[in-house]
Amino acid sequence: MPAPDVIVTAPLPPFLYDPLRADYRCHDYYQSSHKPGLLAAEGQKIRGLVQGGGTVTPTDLLDQLPKLEIISVFGVGYDGVPVDYCRRRGLKVTNTPDVLTDDVADVAVGLVLMTGRGFAKAERFVRSGEWEKKGPELTTKLGGRTAGILGLGRIGKAIGQRLEAMGMKIAYTGRKAQPGVHYRYVPDLKALAAESDFLIVACPGGPATKHLVNADVLSALGKKGTIVNIARGSIIDEPALVQALQDGTIGGAGLDVFADEPHVPKPLLAMDNVVLLPHVGSATNETRKAMGDLCKANLDAWFAGRPLLTLIPELA
C-alpha cells in the first residue's frame, strides 16, 4: 500500500513532523509559497489533514480535498475545525485531550500567582534596581479568595484542584452543573464574575463561546477582580477587556491567549497590572511530545483500520 497523502496546515515540531514524513506523503500547505498550485497538484489524493489547536480550517480548503477522511488536530482545541461540515462529509476529527491538562492548569495557577501576588511586577522591581531604594509593595493573600472557573472540563477541574490546594474557594459556571463535583455551581456567568476575585476562562473556543466574557461580565467582576485566560482569545471581547483595564473597571489580567495571536493589543503591553504569556499552556517538551505522539497515533490507527484513540465528542 502506498503511504497515504497528508496535508499539513500548521507549523509542526520535528518530533511530530519527522515521524509523519517517515510514514506519510506529507504536503506542507502551511509553508507552501504557492498554495493553489499545491492543491491543484495534490488535492485529489489527500486523505489526511494535520493542523494545530488554533488553526482555522476553512470549508473551501476542505472542498478541494475530495478524498479527505480524517483531520488530526495537534492540540485539544478544535475551534478552528468546521465540525458541522465534517459531520456532513463523514470526516473524522481527532484531538489531543488529557495529555496537556496538567501543564495548562499549571499556567493558570502561574497567572493567578503572577497577577494576585504581583510576582511579575516584583521581578521587574528587582531587575530595575528599585529594591535598592525601597521595599516591595504588599499584595493580597490568595488563601480564602474566590476563583470562579468558566468551563469545568478536564482543564477547569485540574485548575480547581490546584487552587483549592492553595486555600482558595472554587465556584464555576458552564452549561450544566457537573455531577460528583463539590465546587459551587453558579449558572450565570455575570453572577459568578460578581463573586470572583479571579475569573478563570477554561472553556472551549469557537462560535458558541465567542465574546462570552463581554463588557457586562467584566463590569460584574469589578475592581476587586482579575481575569485569567488560558483557553482561547476569542472567548473574551478583547477591545472591551482593554477598555475595562484602561478605565480601571477590573483590577488586572493574566493572559496566555489572545484573539489574534501572536499579536497582542498594544495598550496591554504598557500595563503594570497585566501579565502576558505567549500561549505556553502546553509548551513543555514532555507534553508537546505526548501531543505529537497522540496526533500521529490517531492517523496511524485510522489508516490501519484500528479504532481511533480520540474522537471529538460532537462526532462520537
Binding interface with ligand 8YV (CB under 6 A): 10, 52-54, 74-77, 100, 279, 281-282
Q: Which residues are catalytic?
A: 232, 261, 279
Which residue's entry shows cell 462529509?
89
Shortest separation between residue 310's beta carbon and ligand 8YV, angstroms: 12
**What burial class does residue 69 get, using C-beta atoms within 10 Å of its C-beta: 0-12 exposed, 13-18 middle, 19+ buried?**
middle
Q: How far is the CB of 279 from ligand 8YV (least distance, A)?
A: 5
State in angstroms the smallest separation of the CB of 74 from ligand 8YV.
Answer: 5
- Long-range (24+ apart) CB contacts under 8 A made by 60-67 are 61/9, 62/86, 62/89, 62/91, 64/39, 65/7, 65/39
Kindly tell me which of 55 and 146 has the beta carbon lying closer to ligand 8YV.
55
Quote the DSSP letter at residue 235. G
- Shortest distance, position 77 Cβ to ligand 8YV, whole Å: 3
Helix (H, G, I), strand (E, B), or coil: what is residue 64?
Answer: coil
Q: Which residue has the cell 495534490?
A: 42
Would you say 235 and 205 are in contact if contact means Cβ atoms under 8 Å apart? yes
Q: Which is nearer to ligand 8YV, 147 or 257 (CB)?
A: 257
Min CB(288)–ligand 8YV separation in Å: 8
Three cell numbers written together for 111: 497567572
Q: Which residue has the cell 458541522?
A: 84
| Residue among 229 and 282 whose Cβ is closer to ligand 8YV | 282
Cβ atoms 235, 258 nearer than 8 A: no
Nearer to ligand 8YV, 168 or 294 (CB): 294
> 168 phi and psi, to 5 degrees?
-85, 155
If you write DSSP's letter for every residue of 273-297 in order, what string do you get?
TEEE--S-TT-SHHHHHHHHHHHHH
CB of 157 to ligand 8YV, least distance (A): 16
Q: Beta strand 146-150 with 169-173: parallel, antiparallel or unpaired?
A: parallel
Using alpha carbons, list the distances in angstroms from residue 120 to 25, 107, 117, 131, 311.
45, 14, 9, 14, 39
Q: Which of 116, 143, 80 is nearest to 200 (CA)?
A: 116
Q: Toward ligand 8YV, which CB reaches closer, 53 or 116?
A: 53
Q: Which is nearer to ligand 8YV, 146 or 234 (CB)?
A: 234
